A and B are shown apart, each in its own frame.
Chain A
Amino acid sequence: MTWDEMAPLLWESTWQTALMVGWSTLFTVLFGLPIGVALVVFDQGGLRPLPVLKSVLGVVVNIGRSLPFIVLMIAIIPFTRLVVGTTIGTAAVVVPLTVGAVPFFARLVEAALREVGADVVQAAQAMGAGRTAIVRKVLLPEAMPGLVAGLTVTVVALIGYSAMAGTVGGGGLGDLAVRYGYQRFETLLMIVTVVLLVVIVQLIQSLGDAVARRLSHK
């Protein structure tokens, strides 16, 4: 396979990966952040202790985390059809990617929020701040470096999950490596894809680290 033949394939697959990861990252933050906040706020000794609700939430999150992504993707096919109307293609992959990443990210959000000192939260309570203000003005801003670090890890994990998207016709770099590199013995393409994935992950990690460092004022 010549470079000219590979270039459009690589370009298209990279774009598909970017789409899948981009959209699922967006939805993961949208759902995962509130769940992570809920895990902290509803905890015993949290701002609004509701231990039963928190336990139920914890169990649901753990179930989501215990399924291998490829199993999850197939298991939730009916749900995917319900949401996007189809079970194949790039859009259809965003649903299992999001479902898979939300519990993962929620736990990272929970861990980041727990790092915020109890003394700062109490100081805010002593100033008469309500629960919403404490979450918005204290917990989230103070945990921001940790949240960014968690998001970076999540995006990298999503790139990994997205490699399995080929199973349901989602395309992407992983699918390209399997179909051409493995099944058609195009070793060069395989190598180029691997290098490309390594570079992308490196870039994302470095970017995430840089942002987290800039936000940290410790």
Chain B
Amino acid sequence: MIQASGLRKSYGETVALDGVDLHVREGEIYGVLGRSGAGKSTLLRCVNLLERPDQGTVSVAGQDLTALRSGELNLARQRIGMIHQHFALLSSRTVAANVAFPLEIMGVARAERERRVAELLDLVGLGGRGGDRPHQLSGGQKQRVGIARALAGNPAVLLSDEATSALDPATTQSILDLLKRLNAELGLTILLITHEMHVVKSVCDSVAIMAGGRVEESGSIAGLIRTPGSRLTREIFPLPEPAPAGSVTLTFTGEPQRPVVSDLVRKFDVEVSILGGSIEDLAGEAVGRLRVALTGETAPALAYLRERGLLVEVAA
């Protein structure tokens, strides 16, 4: 749905994007995770060409945006929704008129606009608040208006620029739930950037971790969890790094309640001491990560664990 390749962008001496590729599949929620200055904001703004990359191409829904002229680009942008960290609502307009704004740009007739605005406000849970002014709403409600506005043109893609960073944890969760619902109900493809691992954990199907203008790691969350040495896994599970020499780190997905440790002790002549571990919900799947120290008959024990489908990493 979104295909970007070889993106480079620099501002004077500062390199914001240093050869970035991005591939977002239709219908998925894709997170770009990184600290501020990692280049994720520039990357997002390159997707709808708010920033024009120095090199590289961007195509959305099969259309190469970098090849378009400004009038055609504006038409293409009408099919790409965007929500913003500080909402970017027009204070001179009511809530309903804010949502109507993109429809006015598209030249939709008044009656149709009103019908569509009412429908959109209902969709985001703000039915009946159309006459309010943005300053009368809470942060979460403002972002809901932002989302309604972004969806006005029936976009195939929604870009989210740190949309929950200005919100408190409970409101953040409600906005994430809304995004997830829209993704499921409308089949909306969502590309979001965030510096919060929590956002990635709770809604994303795929992730790219960025630092210094490069993508360090990317792929589906389920896949990365099963990849040895994955940075995502290390960042999600708070185990001390580096792992102590000889310790074994087990990552298991699907049934974290499986009695792995007791199985091990019963079947093999090993001693197991638990060094740390936790269980997280990732992309709708429970994933556990456990660090243990094994002594005794370790080789067959580890083979057994691998056979059972666990990811086994032995620290050198």
**Taking the nearest CB of chain B, how far is it from the CB of A187, in angstroms?**
49
Q: Which residues of A contact B48 (CB under 8 A)?
A: 126
CA distance A122 to B87 in the complex (A): 11
Q: Which residues of A contact B78 (CB under 8 A)?
A: 127-128
B:62-86 near A, CB below 8 Å = 70-71, 73-78, 80, 82, 84, 86
Contact between chains at B135 and A126 (CB < 8 Å): no
Assembled-state Cα–Cα distance A3/B102 (Å) = 62
Interface bracket on A: 20 to 34
Question: Closest chain A residue to B80 by CB distance?
Answer: A126
Bits for B115-139, please: 1 = Cβ < 8 Å to A, else 0: 0000000000000000001110000
**What residues of chain B lie closer than 8 Å to A125, measured between beta carbons?**
50, 77
Could you tell me if B88 and A119 are in contact, using CB atoms closer than 8 angstroms?
A: yes
Does A142 reach chain B (CB closer than 8 Å)?
yes
| A144 to B90 Cα, complex, angstroms | 12
Name the residue of chain A whose CB is nearest to the CB of B134. Answer: A217
Residue A130 interfacial (CB < 8 Å) = yes
Q: Scan residues 178-218 of chain A and give those whose CB is less than 8 A from a CB of chain B.
A: 215-218
Stretch of A15-23, A64-72, A105-113, A133-141 lying at the B interface: A133-141
Residue A120 lies at the interface, judged by CB distance under 8 Å to chain B: yes
Is B92 a contact partner of A130 (Cβ separation < 8 A)?
Answer: no
Q: Would A141 and B93 be within 8 Å (CB), given that A123-B82, A126-B80, A127-B105 are in contact?
A: yes
What A residues does B84 contact at CB under 8 A?
Answer: 119, 123
Whole-angstrom distance from the CB of B294 to the nearest CB of chain A? 54
Which residues of B are found within 8 Å of A217, using beta-carbon distances? 91-92, 133-135
For chain B, residues 97 to 155, give those with C-beta under 8 angstroms from any C-beta of chain A: 101-102, 104-106, 133-135, 149, 153
Bound state CA distance, A127 and B80, in angstroms? 7
Give, as a whole number of angstroms, the nearest-CB distance from A216 to chain B.
Answer: 8
Given contacts A133-B105, A142-B92, A217-B134, contact A126 B77 (CB under 8 A): yes
A144 touches B74 (CB 8 A): no
Q: Is A85 an interface residue (CB 8 A)?
A: no
Q: Are B105 and A142 in contact (CB under 8 A)?
A: no
Interface size class of B (residues with CB under 8 A): 20 to 34
Interface residue? A9 (CB, 8 A): no
Given contacts A119-B84, A137-B101, A217-B135, contact A128 B76 (CB under 8 A): yes
Q: How far is the CB of A133 from chain B (nearest CB, A)?
A: 6
Q: How far is the CB of A72 from chain B (nearest CB, A)?
A: 35
- Given A123-B82, A127-B102, A217-B133: A117 and B88 interface contact (C-beta under 8 Å): yes
**Contact between A128 and B77 (Cβ–Cβ < 8 Å)?**
yes
The complex places the Cα of A138 from the Cα of B133 at a distance, in Å, of 16
- A130 to B71 Cα, complex, angstroms: 8
A140's nearest neighbour on chain B, judged by CB, is B92
A128-164 interface mask toward B, CB cutoff 8 Å, 1 = contact, 0 = none?
1110010001100110100000000000000000000
Check if A57 is an interface residue, CB within 8 A of chain B: no
Inter-chain contacts of A122 with B (CB < 8 A)? 50, 88
**Which residue of A has the minimal Cβ distance to B91?**
A217
How distant is B18 from chain A, measured CB to nearest CB, in Å? 24
**A129 vs B48: C-alpha distance in the bound complex, in angstroms?**
13
In-complex Cβ contact of A218 among B50, B70, B91 (8 A): B91
B75 CB contact (under 8 Å) in A126, A128, A137, A141: A128
A28 to B50, CA, bound (A): 35
Q: List 24 A-B contacts (CB under 8 A).
A: A119-B84, A122-B88, A123-B88, A124-B105, A126-B77, A126-B80, A126-B82, A127-B102, A127-B153, A128-B74, A128-B75, A128-B77, A128-B78, A128-B106, A129-B105, A130-B70, A137-B104, A141-B93, A142-B90, A142-B91, A142-B92, A144-B92, A217-B92, A217-B134
